[in-house]
Amino acid sequence: MELAYYSDYAVRLVNSEEPGRGKDSLTSVEAVRDLFGGNQQAARRATDADLTRFRSVRARLRAVFEAADKGEETLAVDLLNSLLLEFPVSPQISGHDFRDEDGRPLWHMHLADHPSNATAGYTAIAAMGLAFHLTEYGVDRLGLCEAAPCRNAYLDTSTNRSRRYCSDRCATRANVAAYRARKRLEAERPDRPERSASTGLAAESAQRASASGER
């Protein structure tokens, strides 16, 4: 398993809140445990005390994405480094649950955390995964959705660094809004200026005079 995979832990936590919409799904221990996905052993460590701690870490991770989104590369790295120092992990070689055709382990790197609580374990993995993604693809691959008021975090893995939205749904919504805005502008801007009534009458009189003179 690639270590950059763990960066999804950071995205999951950041997107548990949508400030622009006034939504926050991180309101219970069950919600905290859901963030761990299939890692149920780690999820079972979560208690009521982790709720506040998770929200604090969430704010710090969002700050990393915000700095990256604004092009403040050094700030994004500094903020992430502070999390890495506070919540360390131990990379280990693992082969659990993976077997090749001959039954041998498929060795891969695994992040082993040694947490004092569920928040420490989750943050250690999220921060390290995000760090691997950042160094592998670049700081500008960390973004915030441009479809207001969404602002969800995303990781850009496109080949041409063109991603601007967190999901296809937001991309479609933004494209529809832009299309409608263009149509409104076109409707408000006539193709050619209208002639005033006096200008039109003068032109018609000149044409009649010219025709009479030619007879």
How does pLDDT run across 1-44, given as a tens digit for each residue? Answer: 456 678 999 999 999 999 989 999 999 999 999 999 888 888 99
Report which listed range, 3-12, 70-79, 103-112, is most confident. Answer: 70-79
pTM, rounded to two decimals: 0.76
Which SS3 state, helix, strand or coil, does residue 179 take? helix
Sequence-distant (≥ 6) Cβ neighbours of residue 9 within 8 angstroms: 35, 122, 125, 126, 129
